[in-house]
Structure 1
Amino acid sequence: MARTESVVVAASLAGMTVLAWGYLGYQSWAMDHMDLVEMAMPGAQAWGPWDLILVFTMWAVMMVGMMVPSATPVILLFTCLQEGRHAQGKPVVASGLFLLGYLLAWTGFSVAATLTQWGMHAVMLISPAMVGTSPLLGGAVLIAAGLYQWTPAKHACLDHCRSPLGFLLNEWRDGAWGALAMGVRHGLYCTGCCWLLMLVLFVVGVMNLLWIALLAAFVLLEKTLPWGRLISHTTGLALIAWGIWIARGVLV
């Protein structure tokens, strides 16, 4: 039974990730074929409520596709602990609540990203193809993301993400509300670790599937490889150099 429950949770996480990437793939295709697909994404006109819903949905689904893989180890470990502590309970349900809490944290980020993109669109700092149009702003975002890779706040959040067992033992709460609260808390740590990296998409293209995949892979490696801090620092330096290079034409 325990093995079956873990398999069910793992299969569910994999299915969610595949569906999310399928949606992103379709949206990327639709943006390149606006003559065939209507209202796939907002155009150059002023946004209305429906445009905001489309963009929010895109960000929310994107966070599922990018972040669920890196959250899978802690969710599966949570399932195993649930099986051990509450053999008569429902580990699959509890794990679903943990995942819901985790995604609620990233949904909050998606709201903020949507509002940011709306503001950028209103002042023409982002193109209809969702690529930043200001080299100075793009360089500033990259430099900020690079500097953040060196900050104590980044490493405090990363340490929680890199130690799923320690997080679960220190933050354990029983019951359905406890599972949800633990998921929210872990999601907040994860958001605190990665939010500036997500903003890099405003520079390279919000719907650039290659960069979405690269960032998702980086987040996973940063959380799981033993030299995660070295990866963070090296990437930070690369982002700073890239940001200076992009902004150099404006600054000279």
Structure 2
Amino acid sequence: MPHLRPGAAAPARPGVLLPRRELAAGWTLMVLIAVLAWAVTVGQSRRMPVEPGTMGMAPPLFLALWVVMMAAMMLPSVAPVAITWVRAIGRHSAGPARVLRITGFVSGYLLAWTAFGLLVYGVLAVTGRLVGGSPAAARWIGAGAFLLAGLQQFGPLKRICLRHCRNPMFQLARYARYRRWAKDLRVGAHHGLYCVGCCWGLMIVLIPLGVMNVAAMAAVAGVIFLEKLWWRGPWLARAVGVAFLVLAVLAPFQGWLLPGLQEAPMGDMDMDMGPAR
């Protein structure tokens, strides 16, 4: 047992374990939100066909569903950044306060993706009209979406934003200078903008694959997670870019690659209307 000088305070062993408990609480919160978001997304997808356009949704309803989708897809990859921010910058906060700070960070992060969702809604509205007027346009819209996504995977914006998302500590230190008012919300929103810059190409492939296509969403979420957290993430980003460019070449000749741009059969649209009377 180490010798203590008179008047010296004994080491507080419980305090050593406290950060671990708070870390577990932060991870538990993020995982619970993601799991609940996936449950809502899967449940909603069963009631909505995969089809072009906005699927008949008004902007408020679409944005509400979009935010849930982003929580499901993005929170697993952003959780380490949110928890690192709160632990490093908010280390003097109490346990419940840290949970509130994580909530503020996540809210700001999803706010950035909500703004991007408005743009997606507009694009879906236009593609829905184009495909409705000329079904043959679906093949070229799909090819354009895959081409744009593939080029984005090799572009400078992708490289800069992915570098930030993989190594955010320098930027997190700069965030410490922000004023206290809504600090965590603003930090989350700023980091979310980097994430949008990194991942918008991956998101637009949901237009040809289907915004409510759960398999496609899960695949995109997996790619995002690995790009940000796997040590070979940058190489994976390039490989995915090559795959998108190949899909861009195939899309005009292989309509099955574009389920999100095909009109849903009437049977699927009536599947939740109950038996005929």
> Where on the TM-score scale, by shorter chain, does this alignment land: which range?
0.7 to 0.9
Cα distance change on mapping 1:65 and 1:151 into 2, 3 Å: same
Cα distance change on mapping 1:174 and 1:96 into 2, 3 Å: farther
Does the CA-based 8 Å contact 1:125-1:132 persist in structure 2?
A: no
Which structure has greater helix proportion? 1
Given the alignment of the two structures, is residue 236 of structure 1 paired with residue 232 of structure 2, yes or no?
no
Partner residue of 1:31 out of 43, 48, 69: 48
Given the alignment of the two structures, is residue 76 of structure 1 paired with residue 80 of structure 2, yes or no?
no
- In the other structure, the counterpart of 1:7 is 24
How many residue pairs are counted as aligned between the two chains? 233
- In the other structure, the counterpart of 1:36 is none
- In the other structure, the counterpart of 1:219 is 224
Q: Give the deviation of 1:67 after TM superposition.
A: 0.7
- In the other structure, the counterpart of 1:151 is 155
Cα distance change on mapping 1:88 and 1:72 into 2, 3 Å: closer
Larger Rg: 2
Does the CA-based 8 Å contact 1:160-1:189 persist in structure 2?
A: yes
Given the alignment of the two structures, is residue 138 of structure 1 paired with residue 138 of structure 2, yes or no?
no
* SS class of match (2:58): helix
Distance 2:20 2:235 in 1: 35
Does the CA-based 8 Å contact 2:152-2:158 persist in structure 1?
A: yes
Distance 2:87 2:164 in 1: 19
Distance 1:123 1:161 in 2: 36
Cα distance change on mapping 1:249 and 1:64 into 2, 3 Å: closer
Partner residue of 1:168 out of 163, 166, 172: 172
**CA deviation string 1:88-145 (max 9, x = no partner):** 6822222221111111101111121122212222333599xxx996111101110111
**Paired letter, 1:236:** G
Does the CA-based 8 Å contact 1:63-1:106 persist in structure 2?
A: yes
Distance 2:93 2:187 in 1: 19
Q: TM-score, normalised by structure 2?
A: 0.76
Gaps (5+ residues) in structure 1?
Answer: 33-40
Distance 1:126 1:187 in 2: 36
- In the other structure, the counterpart of 1:35 is none
Given the alignment of the two structures, is residue 108 of structure 1 paired with residue 115 of structure 2, yes or no?
yes
Cα distance change on mapping 1:139 and 1:8 into 2, 3 Å: same
Distance 1:124 1:236 in 2: 26
Cα distance change on mapping 1:118 and 1:132 into 2, 3 Å: farther
**Paired letter, 1:31:** M
In terms of mean alpha carbon deviation, does 55-64 or 168-177 score higher?
Answer: 168-177
Does the CA-based 8 Å contact 2:82-2:105 persist in structure 1?
A: yes
**CA deviation string 1:4-48 (max 9, x = no partner):** 33222221111111111111111111126xxxxxxxx975xxx5x
Distance 2:42 2:183 in 1: 35
Q: TM-score, normalised by structure 1?
A: 0.83
Does the CA-based 8 Å contact 1:75-1:99 persist in structure 2?
A: yes
* SS class of match (2:119): helix
**Paired letter, 2:75:** V
Does the CA-based 8 Å contact 1:146-1:240 persist in structure 2?
A: yes
Distance 2:133 2:144 in 1: 15
Given the alignment of the two structures, is residue 193 of structure 1 paired with residue 198 of structure 2, yes or no?
yes
Does the CA-based 8 Å contact 1:6-1:79 persist in structure 2?
A: no
**Paired letter, 2:21:** T
Q: Give the deviation of 1:214 after TM superposition.
A: 0.5
Partner residue of 2:182 out of 177, 201, 215: 177
Does the CA-based 8 Å contact 1:117-1:126 persist in structure 2?
A: no
* SS class of match (1:181): helix
Does the CA-based 8 Å contact 2:73-2:217 persist in structure 1?
A: yes
In terms of mean alpha carbon deviation, does 98-107 or 109-118 score higher?
Answer: 109-118
Q: Give the deviation of 1:197 after TM superposition.
A: 1.0
Given the alignment of the two structures, is residue 18 of structure 1 paired with residue 25 of structure 2, yes or no?
no
Q: Runs of at least 4 residues of structure 1 off by over 4 A?
A: none
Distance 2:19 2:136 in 1: 48
Q: Give the deviation of 1:61 after TM superposition.
A: 1.1
